[in-house]
Amino acid sequence: MEPNTGKITSLRVEHITKRFPGVLACSDISLSVGEGEVLALVGENGAGKTTLMNILMGLYRPDEGRILINGEETVFRSPGDAFAAGLGMVHQQYMLVANMTVLENIALGYTRAWSPLALDLDMVRARIDEISRKYGLAVDPDAYVWQLSVGEQQRVELVKTLCLGARFLILDEPTSALTPQETDELILLLRKMTRELSIIFISHKLQEVKNLSDKVVILRRGEVVFEGSTADHSSDDIAALMTGREIHLPRNEAPECEGKPALDIRGLKVRSDRGFLAVDGLDLSVCAGEIVGLAGVSGNGQRELAEAINGLREVEEGEILFFGRNIADHSPRDVIDAGMGYIPEERNTEGIVPSFSMKENFILKDAGSPRFSARSFLKLEEIDRNADRLRTEFDIRSPDTDAAAGSLSGGNIQKVILAREISRMPRFLVAVYPTRGLDMGAAEFIHRRLLEKRMEGIGILLISEELEEILDLSDRIAVIFKGRIIGTLDRRTADSRKIGILMAGVRNDEAV
């Protein structure tokens, strides 16, 4: 069947309502996108953005409401239907096979090049060429996906979606994994692409909403609370509409702290899963009552460092002195008992047991502690009390504490983890990408909590790619590149330009 190649000149969504167990995910949502328009869909975590997009992509069917493409009502029974109608989505997590080439990855979905026995790779190559030229998206079809940077992989995703016939793009947080430079490039690229097609993109970052979109729709608790032209509103207005209140991300303005070294890492070497030295002779020290921000493009050893500190990864060489005691290669239990708190990178699989209830997740590290069990029997009342208290204190939104943790939204999952780690009264905290993918309201909340802990005299190692987050919170900033600290900056002298240069691996002696 020859796919329809006509332009999508208008996409309208009318009165969409979708209910999930106990939640009204989308309530009477209407929006429309015209030819060449870019619509930004913003809202806090759990506001219903993803649900709405899944309805557009045919993954869910709405309980009420309808979708019109070029004025005609369309019903999507499956993702295939949405695809045939010309809607293409690029997900937050890229759907690429790492050990295949770009060409092969695209051929995977390009069924027109398939015949029962052979795969017409030349046809795929021609198609990639055509799309690349049409939209100005340069990709090397013969590169292996694992060789590409995150930004390049995203471009492959875009090319793939377009090659497969998308005439309308839906992008779910397209910049969440990109460096600042890559983000700028992407925005330019998308701007150019609007000559050929329309775009809906989901984002938390108000700056790019301003830069890219023509129209903005703000969702809160499943409802459209604002719809208007981007040019008429400032980022602050949009942020306030998003959360329903003014947002001010807190800053670390406390006087310099002179605590004793809490964490002192010397000459640390750690291997990655693929066997190379991901952390290669790293030295770093964090004092009590100090936040050290570890900046760097992800994949430069951050994950391995955090895991090694927490006993989850073997240490090849070097020392990790925790209040003077070497904890390198100790078991996770030992490290926890020594007073380490850890907010892991993978919040959905590592930070929580998804099928466990929220209250069960609160005792993940303490099931055997006298507080929650006596002679091995769990103290159910105390567990309930603890959960109720934390849920209120950390404003975790869910019907009750029996809800499966995995069913919560990203922001709420992160709050569950934060609540558990902070309420355990740690002496030190390692926080890895603590606000990745979270909306501003949740990020603000988490930042405040981290600063509070700092004031209580707890040392924090903050690993992040968000320069603003690092600049807002840190007392000192260390930049990691290829497993080593390439430079350390003081809060007063640091700015994003200097950090950016170091992140790229250029040692700037003046800045050190």
- The residue ranges that bind another protein (CB under 8 A) are 19-22, 60, 310, 312, 331-333, 335-337, 342, 344, 346, 349-356, 360, 363-365, 367-368, 372-373, 376-378, 380, 407
Of 227, 224, 225, 223, the C-alpha closest to 24 is 223
Q: Whole-number minimum distance, CB 315 to another protein, in Å?
A: 16
In a 13 Å sphere around the CA of 29, the CA atoms on its Cβ side amount to 34
Smaller CB separation from another protein, 68 or 378 = 378
* Contact assessment for residue 309 and residue 430, using Cβ atoms and an 8 Å cutoff: yes
Q: Whole-number minimum distance, CB 456 to another protein, in Å?
A: 23
Smaller CB separation from another protein, 15 or 333 = 333
- Strands (E) across 103-195 are located at 168-172
Phi and psi at residue 232, to the nearest 5°: -85, -5
Q: Whole-number minimum distance, CB 215 to another protein, in Å?
A: 31
Smaller CB separation from another protein, 193 or 419 = 419
Q: Whole-number minimum distance, CB 488 to another protein, in Å?
A: 29
Q: Whole-number minimum distance, CB 311 to another protein, in Å?
A: 8
Q: Whole-number minimum distance, CB 365 to another protein, in Å?
A: 5
Smaller CB separation from another protein, 205 or 347 = 347
C-alpha to C-alpha distance for 13 and 39, rounded to whole angstroms: 13
Of 252, 276, 262, the C-alpha closest to 448 is 252
* Contact assessment for residue 54 and residue 66, using Cβ atoms and an 8 Å cutoff: no
Query: Largest alpha-carbon pair distance within the chain?
Result: 71
Phi and psi at residue 304, to the nearest 5°: -65, -40
Of 486, 508, 483, the C-alpha closest to 497 is 508
Q: How far is CA 340 from CA 82, 88, 421, in A?
A: 48, 44, 9
Q: Whole-number minimum distance, CB 412 to another protein, in Å?
A: 16
Structure tokens at 214: 């023509």
The alpha-helical segments, DSSP class H, found in 296-400 are: 302-309, 332-337, 358-362, 380-393
Smaller CB separation from another protein, 407 or 488 = 407
Smaller CB separation from another protein, 272 or 373 = 373
Structure tokens at 466: 């968000």
Q: Whole-number minimum distance, CB 378 to another protein, in Å?
A: 6
C-alpha to C-alpha distance for 469 and 466, rounded to whole angstroms: 5
Smaller CB separation from another protein, 292 or 403 = 403
Q: Residue 508's CB: how many other CB atoms inside 10 A?
A: 13
Smaller CB separation from another protein, 287 or 413 = 413
Which residues have C-beta within 8 Å of that of residue 291, sequence separation ≥ 6? Answer: 252, 450, 451, 454, 459, 460, 462, 473, 474, 475
Smaller CB separation from another protein, 95 or 367 = 367
Q: Whole-number minimum distance, CB 461 to another protein, in Å?
A: 16
Cα 443 from chain centroid (whole Å): 12
